[in-house]
Chain A
């Protein structure tokens, strides 16, 4: 068997690293057993983390076999779009950022007509305002600009 790096190794490697991190903090900071109070807060996560390290190593060895899946760039576009919504929400507010995202996605990525874009935005807007703003009364992030204008 040839040992060659492939993307299948990402999850097992991350699992082992996470296991080392959790076990390390758990054992060094709180220990496993206290003579008076019994199991410490570090015992359970440390045991699980040690098990994860063991299973992660087996998974790592197995990951060399088989073909790695192909990731398409366009799938990450939506992740970047949501990341942009998060960042812009601190500036112009969450609802405005979501509105701009909807408009840009429908027009540029989905290549929809103005009519369809308008209808979808109207329906989604009604749901968001009706359910989340008025009914659930969620205090959405207003953003710096809005706070600045309001004074």
Chain B
């Protein structure tokens, strides 16, 4: 415990350079602005800003990405409160109470409740993260290739099956992501495969242009048919009048703390993510606790529960990311891909082989939390202008960033072509309601899964019994099979029920 705390404070010492502190500050501001803009959101925001990290050291780069992520979560709530449009998925529950407060002329109150609750939830999440991430890493050190295979299969399928209404679509997306990742160099033998005679494919599909296109440019394509300019209604936001009173602090603190704890543990489970945490946090407040006004009519308890759970889950999702190398969400998947660009492999060995980086990352989240709160308060007076940027101006601006960013990371037009193709595929996926998260997660985790799977089979000389050789791997594989079978069983039960009704 003392050693953990010592290393945690060492993480702060690692970060204390002018470059890193400025990067965190810029990341928070950019994150808040991009998160607040309707239609862009955290994932697209981080993807668009990935090229900026190329000139930094790995610690500064991940601190910047973490700050963008953190800022995005603060910003995501702003458009939810002021425009009734969630900036990202988890902010959906914030609209339920945030927008009614805006209609009542209390938008400032809602925004500050959101800011403070986010900070409380995030801090709770990070405190738990400090102790959980190294513990998970210690557990991960006991994993052999069979256990890692089971864990990776579990991580990939849990996201696929949870996202969207159709599990089959999630699985298609996941399998396509794996196949695209196999193009280029074979991670085990170093041989080249699936290049189709194209020399650019020798090196595989570059990660950054793929993500920029799949998430960022696909968003732009969709934005073209949505050129409505959003206008913020209500009176000008006054910081002094909006500050929570003592009574309001008493209302917001308990749900924020409860949701913070719940959200962190939900975030730690790979595949659950912030959206599940927010839903559970809000539902917990609604079912088990009293609120001064009913939830859904402008209760600050509702905003506190949702926003705290969102930030806590996001901090919690760093535990499996750093400890096992498995992202808990789509944004985590992009962050993992970002880390891999610098040759860093998050996982059980990270805390022992690269403690500066592991603890620096955790410490950077704390600093980002404080900066995001400060920046959130500072940005508030300009929110109306930020939210009112016309879509038809955003479209060419974001497209330019997509083109130039893709080129700069690949240093060739190949990156731009990949971005364009990925954008079209991402747009088609969204149109036909195929979840994009499993694709990205599978693309990033695929090399690790292939390595573990092939190593396991090599050790066992092709016998599948190796996956049932230890209790941990047996549990993982059984869970994987259960997740795989759940939709089939569910649909069979549904059919039996329907048949018995008609009979």
Q: Which residues of A contact B (CB under 8 A)?
A: 7-8, 10-12, 15, 18-19, 22, 25-26, 30, 33, 37-39, 41-45, 48-49, 51-52, 55-56, 58-59, 62, 69, 71-72, 74-79, 81-83, 85-86, 89-90, 94, 98, 101-102, 105-106, 109-112, 116, 120, 124, 127-128, 131-132, 135-136, 138-141
Contact of A79 among B186, B395, B416, B423 (CB under 8 A): B423
Q: List 23 A-B contacts (CB under 8 A).
A: A10-B428, A11-B172, A11-B428, A15-B172, A22-B182, A42-B193, A45-B194, A52-B172, A52-B179, A55-B171, A69-B431, A69-B432, A74-B224, A75-B427, A82-B403, A102-B397, A106-B396, A110-B390, A110-B396, A128-B404, A131-B52, A136-B55, A138-B407
- A39 and B191 contact, CB distance less than 8 A: no
A45 touches B179 (CB 8 A): yes
Asked if B434 is at the interface (CB within 8 A of a chain A CB), the reply is: yes
Assembly CA distance A47 to B189 (angstroms):
18
Q: Which of B232-240, B335-343, B345-353, B452-460 contacts A (4 or more CB under 8 A)?
A: B452-460
Interface residue B103 (Cβ < 8 Å from any Cβ of A): no
> Is B175 positioned at the interface, with any CB of A under 8 Å from its CB?
yes
Q: Which residue of A lies closest to B191 (CB)?
A: A41
CB pair B454 A55 closer than 8 Å: no
Interface flag for B13 (CB, 8 Å): no
Q: Is the CB of A98 within 8 A of B193?
A: no
Nearest opposing residue in chain A for B186, CB measure: A41
Task: Give the docked Cα–Cα distance between A22 and B175 (Å).
Answer: 12
CA distance A83 to B423 in the complex (A): 12
Tell me if B388 counts as interface (CB < 8 A to partner A). Answer: no
Residues of B within 8 A of A (CB): 51-52, 54-55, 166, 168-169, 171-172, 175-176, 178-179, 182, 186, 188-189, 191, 193-194, 217, 220-222, 224-225, 390, 392-393, 395-397, 399-405, 407-408, 411-413, 416-417, 420, 423-424, 427-429, 431-432, 434, 449-450, 453-454, 457-458, 461-462
Beta-carbon contact of A101 and B193 below 8 Å: no
Determine the chain A residues whose CB is within 8 A of the CB of B402 once the complex forms: 82
Q: Which residue of A lies closest to B434 (CB)?
A: A11
Shortest CB-to-CB span from B232 to chain A, Å, is 20
Top 7 A-B pairs, shortest CB-CB distance: A110-B392, A138-B408, A105-B396, A38-B458, A41-B186, A45-B182, A52-B175
Give the chain B neighbours of A75 by CB distance below 8 A. Answer: 221-222, 224-225, 427
Q: Chain A's nearest CB lies how many Å from the CB of B188? A: 7
A140: which B residues are within 8 A, CB to CB? Answer: 404, 407
**CB neighbours of B417 from chain A (8 A):** 86
CB distance from B457 to the nearest CB of A (A): 5
Asked if A116 meets B395 with Cβ closer than 8 Å, knowing A44-B182, A74-B225, A138-B411, the reply is no
